Amino acid sequence: MSPEARASGPLAGLVVADFSRVLAGPYATMLLGDLGADVIKVERPGSGDDTRAWGPPYGPSGRSTYFDGVNRNKRPLAIDLATEDGRRQARELVASADVLVENFKPGSLDRLGLGYSTAADLNPGLVYCSITGFGAGAGADLPGYDLLVQAMGGLMSITGPEPGQPTKVGVALVDVITGLHATVGILAALRHRDATGRGQHVEVSLLSSLLSALVNQSAGYVGAGAVPGIIGNAHPSIAPYEVYPTADREVVLAVGNDGQFAALVDELGDPALAADPRFATNPERVRHRADLNRRLVVLLSADTADSWQQRLMGRGVPCGPINDVAEAFALAERLGLEPVADVAGSPTVAHPIRLSESPATYRHPPPDLPDESGPPYARM
């Protein structure tokens, strides 16, 4: 391996055995790889990760962009766990790794002799992260697909244009959140290992991750027994905080306090609304949302979306257009956020964390599918 491809960063020298596939696990291991970890992606010869077949679209490499989006900075290793030789290779990898990440159906790796208790005997310092859909207990047999968890975990019950039309989020958000939780758990376990020398079992599930990520909605149920429902683009506790038409296209207003509301209605040309008892405070604006919105729609129709954004943002009122993905990347470019990085000549979405002393690096493009004749794992 060339010197420029060798890892740097806060996790350099850390070996991650990535037995995961699809999204939550691969996203977590890619983040670790970006920060310098040596990630060994284990795949079944001949078929590999399911997302290799999830296309179109396809990138310049001919691979699915779904696969490429969560598998950079990984080295490939073909292992057939259905064979004794494959299981032997897997045990050798586990014995030398710092972290193992897997999202097999609970109990599967135990039957193959690669479960946590066996792995911990092989490698007492191993941080072993298991990702499941609904936990390893009574929910072990439930399939962990993001759409299923969005439905069963309550997210779709609060998402949609209006009551009676539950809608999934436009990306596998529960998988992404679970991958982030897995990453946090792994880093915490590594810190514990630094202090004690002992690894541990990190367990995260899509359902638990979603319930945590519902934040104010789940807190409202747990703390006050309030069961939320679908209210479209409105916010259950803040107003005005939704989508509004203008003279040409829609904008979002995100008014988070009374001062911003006063500035909003002043700029819109109706400052008296800030003194109206129905709208003077946020709780009252929420109670009288329909009356407020009727007036705002009339006022906003007097100018265009771009003009309102410039005028209102100049007054400290959060306002913006509804961008498509291309426009969102263009915005990030204009703001100097450098949202696209190059990996061996191929564009990739940049790592989102900026570290002043040990930044993320882009060393390996997503790997081609390995075969059984591929080279065995060797520690760098």
Q: Are 200 and 268 in a shared domain?
A: no
Q: Averaged over 281-300, what is the pLDDT?
A: 98
| Cα 324 from Cα 328, distance rounded (Å) | 6
CA angle 24, 28, 30 (to 5 degrees): 115
Asked which of 287, 321, 355 is the last residue of a domain, the reply is: 321
Q: What is the DSSP letter of 208?
A: H
- Chain mean position to CA 221: 24
Catalytic residue among 110, 175, 324, 342: 175
For 199-242, write each residue's pLDDT tens digit: 999 999 999 999 999 999 999 999 999 999 999 999 999 999 99
pLDDT exceeds 50 at position 3? no
Query: Domain containing 146 — which CATH number?
Result: 3.40.50.10540
Asked which of 301, 321, 341 is the last residue of a domain, the reply is: 321
Nearest residue to 72 (alpha-carbon basis) of 349, 361, 350, 364:
364
In a domain? residue 9:
yes
| Cα 285 from Cα 291, distance rounded (Å) | 9
In a domain? residue 232:
no
Q: Averaged over 21-49, what is the pLDDT?
A: 96
For 150-169, write each residue's pLDDT tens digit: 999 999 999 999 999 999 99
| Confidence band of 311 (pLDDT split at 50, 70, 90) | very high
In a domain? residue 127:
yes
**38-43 vs 74-78, strand pairing mode:** parallel
Q: Are 142 and 257 in a shared domain?
A: no
Q: Which domain holds residue 61?
A: 3-213
pLDDT of residue 207: 98
Annotated active-site residue 146? The verdict is no
Q: Are 33 and 124 in a shared domain?
A: yes
In a domain? residue 361:
no
Query: Domain containing 268 — which CATH number?
Result: 3.30.1540.10
pLDDT of residue 5: 52
In a domain? residue 341:
no
Q: Are 185 and 260 in a shared domain?
A: no
pLDDT of residue 369: 87
For 65-97, write each residue's pLDDT tens digit: 999 999 999 999 999 999 999 999 999 999 999
- Chain mean position to CA 214: 14
In a domain? residue 366:
no
Q: Total domain count for the chain?
A: 2
Nearest residue to 41 (alpha-carbon basis) of 55, 31, 30, 57:
30
| Cα 122 from Cα 118, distance rounded (Å) | 6
Q: Are 188 and 303 in a shared domain?
A: no
Q: Are 191 and 317 in a shared domain?
A: no
